[in-house]
């Protein structure tokens, strides 16, 4: 026959941790019967308390469940762009923040490439072509941002966006007419 100490050491650690609360519940139940509680109620309450204690110490909760993060894909014109241009466009000095100005510059360069201006705003020929397509003031302002100069005012930025939107569609850049109604 094995000794109680040997049997105790073979138990799982979680079961050993549940033993003390279980013994406390049983002792409290015995005390309740001694002071006059009905044994049926004490038996039921002790059974529930022992079950809770065993579940508490035996069941492994496995940590917090976490949601998988969707991939952070930067899509042009996505919600982040709209939010950024809407809320964080103007800095403390009343001028457009550099990040928003650079975003509009990238948009203008993308449209210029679609219209055959492949050098961006770096060569004199590209500047002349951009001035023809966007207008002299818009082209000069975009070149100033590209060179790291002063950012535009919100009104200037609005005129830049209007000029970019006015670019006539080329055969490669035909616009979608939408769903017929």
pLDDT in tens, 86-111: 777 888 888 888 888 888 888 888 88
pLDDT surpassing 60 at residue 181: no
More confident residue, 79 or 136: 136
pLDDT at position 50 = 86
Question: Mean pLDDT of all residues in the chain?
Answer: 80
pLDDT band at 113 (very low <50, low <70, confident <90, very high): confident
Identify the weakest region by mean pLDDT among 31-35, 50-54, 68-72, 110-114. 68-72
pLDDT at position 65 = 72
| Rounded-to-10 torsion of CA 177, 139, 76, 180 | -10
pLDDT surpassing 60 at residue 174: no
The residue count of the chain comes to 181
Instruction: Indicate the pTM of the whole model.
Output: 0.49
pLDDT band at 44 (very low <50, low <70, confident <90, very high): very high
Break the chain into its structural domains and give their ranges. Answer: 12-58, 88-169
pLDDT at position 77 = 60
Which residues on neighbouring strands pair with residue 135, listed in sequence order? Answer: none
The residue to which tokens 């100490």 are assigned: 5
Tell me what the mean pLDDT of segment 162-180 comes to.
Answer: 66
- Give the span between the Cα atoms of 133 and 6, in whole angstroms: 90
pLDDT at position 168 = 60
Tell me what the mean pLDDT of segment 59-68 comes to.
Answer: 73
Helix (H, G, I), strand (E, B) or coil at 14: helix
Tell me what the mean pLDDT of segment 134-142 comes to.
Answer: 88
Q: Which of 117, 165, 115, 116 is nearest to 138 (CA)?
A: 165
């Amino acid at each position: 026959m094995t000794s109680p100490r040997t049997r105790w050491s073979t138990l799982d650690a979680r079961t050993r941790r549940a033993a003390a609360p279980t013994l406390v519940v049983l002792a409290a139940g015995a005390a309740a019967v001694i002071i006059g509680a009905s044994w049926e109620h004490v038996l039921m309450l002790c059974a529930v308390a022992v079950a809770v204690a065993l579940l508490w110490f035996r069941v492994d909760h496995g940590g917090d469940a976490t949601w998988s993060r969707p991939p952070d894909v930067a899509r042009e014109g996505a919600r982040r762009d709209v939010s950024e241009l809407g809320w964080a466009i103007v800095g403390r000095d009343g001028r457009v923040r550099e990040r928003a100005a650079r975003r509009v510059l990238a948009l203008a360069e993308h449209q210029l490439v679609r219209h055959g201006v492949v050098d961006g705003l770096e060569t004199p020929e590209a500047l002349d072509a951009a001035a023809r397509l966007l207008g002299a003031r818009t082209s000069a302002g975009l070149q100033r941002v590209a060179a790291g100069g002063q950012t535009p005012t919100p009104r200037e930025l609005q005129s830049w966006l209007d000029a970019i939107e006015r670019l006539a569609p080329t055969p490669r850049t035909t616009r979608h007419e939408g769903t017929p109604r």
